[in-house]
Structure 1
Amino acid sequence: MEMALRTRYILLALGMLILGFIAWYFKDIVTYIIVAAVVSTLGRPLARFLRKVRIWKIRFNSSVSAFITLFLILVVLLGMLGFIIPLIAGEFSKLASVDYNALLLQLEGPINQVLVFIGYEPITFSGFSVTDLASSKLASLFKFSKVTDLFGSVAGTIGSIFVGIFSTAFIAFFFLKEEGMFREGLMALTPEGYEDRFSRSFDRITNLLNRYFIGLVVEIIIVAILVTIGLLIVGLNFGTAALIGVLCGLFNVIPYLGPWIGGGFGIVIALAMNVDQPFMSHTLPVLGFMIIVFGSSQMIDNILIQPLIYSSSVKAHPLEIFLVIMAAGSIAGILGMILAIPVYTILRVLASEFLSNLKVVRKLTENMEPGVNVGERDLPK
């Protein structure tokens, strides 16, 4: 009997591995479906509301309500882009007009002081020209062979983006029109006898991931606002402060590395914007205050915001989360680090539901909501 139980566990694990390989092989399609499921989940309350609304005794059917919902989501996204893109374009136009040769010459003195202090030879930027370097790089880039490759790559990327947007919108339309389609599609892939357990897992995963992603969006907004307000207090203009704040909020999605990347971009932008100011008396104090702003926002994020997000979704030990993120980063880079927590959450829920007889699974999922104890009497006959 124990051998039969072990065989069933092995077959279940093999089935999950095969399903994972199929999902990886068709990762583009799986990505469209997952994004469409997220979009439909966000838009479902509005679609339900529209189906109940009557205008001159006319009630919207499921198709019309789904179309209006997708249209309004698109309008909101375009409105956000319409606010952010001009802001970014204005700041980049200022960056394009910066005299980077003057910036390097301004940094030469402080850099050499540090090099001499640590025992290295000083360097000089007097014979160096950023314009000449950029011209040589552009000349090598815009050779005929490379131009054709570049246009081909750009055309392919644009085509992929349009295909992705259309596919996601098309799938999301039917998810909104026919509620439960995504769930029913997954249930159709579930072996007989496991439907109840998978249904419970689906509900738990949906609940946890909804809380996680909502918390993540709130975290991005709060970090962006905190950094923007802090930089305004430091003395940066609104456009520059908002740009750096948005970058810090977005990069904060990347665990551990994101805050450093966002802060690094902020320092570079501030250096470029203050190229005409005295470095030691003006620029250096501004950079110091910016570092204080970045550090303070990260302390608030790490102490107050992240524990609320992770405690209500992942419910895992901080060391456990760290190891999972590092492993995911080794496998799939930055994208793996971003997806590590939601994927690990899904795996833990499935393991707690289907493999709770294993000691290691019970240990890893002891802080989660209790799953079903899978014994011999629980397995399908």
Structure 2
Amino acid sequence: MITSKTIANGIVRAVLILAAIFLLLLFLYKIQVLFIYLAIALVVALIASPIIHFLENKLKFKHTLAVITTLALLLLLLIGFILLFVPLIITQSHNLSLLDTAKLQEDLNSVIMHVKSYFSDYNIDTDKLMKEADITSSINFKFIPNFINSLVGILSGFGVGLASVLFISFFFLKDTELFTKSFRKILPDEHEEKILHSIKKVNHLLSRYFIGLIIQMSILFVMYLIVLLIFGVENAFIIAFITAFLNIIPYVGPLIATVLVIVLTMLGHIGPEHQGEMLSTTIYVVIGYSIAQAIDNNVSTPLIFSNSVNSHPLEIFIVILASGFVFGILGMIIAVPVYTAIKVVAKEFFPQNPVVKILTKDL
């Protein structure tokens, strides 16, 4: 017979369990940055692995020395990347002091008037359309200084994260064998080889994926740089680098890059002697960026990623799009690596499944 004491004890136990779960979730939420550091360190380790293997096999480096050398090279590249921001920030800070938003608004109105005159020759009434859109009043160029300030704030606050990622990456790379041996001890014997083989295969494919991503961004960087140099945009090298790097976010990244290059191109043409060319140059740069992105989307991306992770371009597109709908931008970034890992595990454990056979026939 269930007594009131038993019920009370059950309620207390349930409350304690719920409280423990809540505290655990709260704790995980508070240390979410640590998981981000771990994820970034894992990516660094995957990118660094081929370099370490080259140093060990071709140049006969000791393992620890190869790890230190590789991380030092990556750190130097990062420092060089950061230093590239210095002239950009100095130049744009100077340009902001010259910004005449009233003149910019006047130039924009002048362009709109020319467009209206052009369409009126074809009996297209743009007055009503412009009035309904209310474009001139809805555009506020005061957002430009706020954007630059936010960018500087983000760049100035990642020192601790950099040190943490380097520290974690070093031990991921240095003690790989130790981690593998320790991991073996907790694996069930009947699945040990399958799991370890899956991990090895995933590491190989993801290393190829991230190297492919670097190649893709390099190609895009060259195309962006050519466009910016043709139209004489200030700090073309660093702007091309930043906007190419944003391509790490599939499909959305190029849109952000386009907005950013619009802002920076306009800032580079502030001043009495250049402001008249601001809008025309910005339009030409946007057209150039659009052509570069079209080449990347239809040529570079399908070829590089379909070969690096052995997946069909349409398959990659659907996975990225679905992940974006469910998890947002972060989902789009991690979609291909996670999907690749799932495919490898599925092929290892369910090789006879007809769906798995179709999806993993090239793995």
TM-score normalised by length of structure 2: 0.71
Seq. identity, %? 32
Determine the C-alpha separation between the residues in 2 that align with 1:221 and 1:341.
19
1-structure distance, mates of 2:279, 2:140:
24
Query: Residues 65-104 of structure 1 correspond to what in structure 2 (within 5 A)?
Result: 66-67=67-68, 69-82=70-83, 84-97=84-97, 98-104=99-105
Q: Does 1:35 align with 2:40?
A: yes
Q: What secondary structure is seen at the aligned counterpart in 1 of 2:190?
A: coil
SS of equivalent to 1:357: coil
1:103–1:272 contact (8 Å) kept in structure 2: no
- 2:327 is matched with 332
Runs of 4+ more than 6 Å apart: 128-131
Task: Say whether the 8 Å CA contact 1:220–1:249 is kept in structure 2.
Answer: yes
Match of 2:131?
120
* CA pair 244-169 structure 1, distance change in 2 beyond 3 A: closer
1:178 to 175, 182, 185: 175
Alignment-derived partner of residue 107 in structure 2: 106
Could you tell me which residue of structure 2 aligns to residue 209 of structure 1? Answer: 206
Q: Deviations over 1:222-279 (max 9, x none)?
A: 211211112211x22441x224312320121211122122112212322333354688
Describe how 1:302-381 pairs up with structure 2 within 5 A. Answer: 302-366=297-361, 368-369=362-363
Query: 1:81-138 CA deviation, whole Å, 9 max, x = no partner?
Result: 22x2213213422442222232122212334656626252585979x9977x999x9x
Larger CA deviation: 306-315 vs 103-112: 103-112
Query: Bigger CA drift: 24-33 or 308-317?
Result: 24-33
Show the counterpart of 1:247.
Answer: 242
Mapped contact 2:248–2:333 kept (Cα < 8 A) = yes
The answer to whether structure 1 residue 197 and structure 2 residue 213 are counterparts is no
1:295 is matched with 290
SS of 2:248's partner is: coil
Task: Give me the CA root mean square deviation.
Answer: 3.8
Q: Counterpart in 2 of 1:228? A: 225
The answer to whether the 8 A contact 2:221-2:241 is kept is yes
Taking the aligned partners of 2:144 and 2:234, their CA distance within structure 1 comes to: 30
**Shift, 1:219, TM fit:** 1.4
CA shift, 1:345, in A, is 0.9
Distance 1:65 1:90 in 2: 37
Q: Distance in 1 between matches of 2:88 and 2:261?
A: 13
Per-residue CA deviation, residues 265-311 of structure 1 (Å, 9 max, x unaligned), is: 212322333354688x8444423422331122123312332122212
Deviations 1:24-48 (A, max 9, x none): 8775444434433443451624763
| Residue number in structure 2 paired with 1:149 | none
Q: Distance in 2 between matches of 1:267 and 1:328?
A: 28
| 1:293-347 residue CA offsets vs partner (Å, 9 max, x unmatched) | 1122123312332122212133333333223212222332212111111111111
**Distance in 2 (alpha carbons) for counterparts of 1:129 and 1:254:** 27
- Residues 147-200 of structure 1 deviation map (CA, whole Å, 9 limit, x = unaligned): xxxxxxx99x95xx4554343333333334334234445544532211221222
Unpaired runs of 5+ residues, structure 2, are 1-24, 117-125, 147-152
Indicate if the aligned counterparts of 2:246 and 2:254 stay in contact, CA closer than 8 A: yes
Question: Is 2:224–2:289's contact at 8 Å kept on the other side of the alignment?
Answer: yes
- 2:223 counterpart letter in structure 1: L
Partner in structure 2 of residue 259 of structure 1 = 254
Alignment: residue pair count: 314
**What TM-score do the two structures reach when normalised by structure 1?**
0.68
Structure 2 match to 1:5: none
Q: Distance in 2 between matches of 1:66 and 1:121?
A: 61
- Describe how 1:142-161 pairs up with structure 2 within 5 A: 158=157, 161=158
What are the ranges of 5 or more consecutive residues in structure 1 without an aligned counterpart? Answer: 1-20, 54-60, 138-153, 370-381
Structure-to-structure mapping, 1:126-145, within 5 angstroms: none
Partner Cα distance (1:247, 1:331) in 2: 27
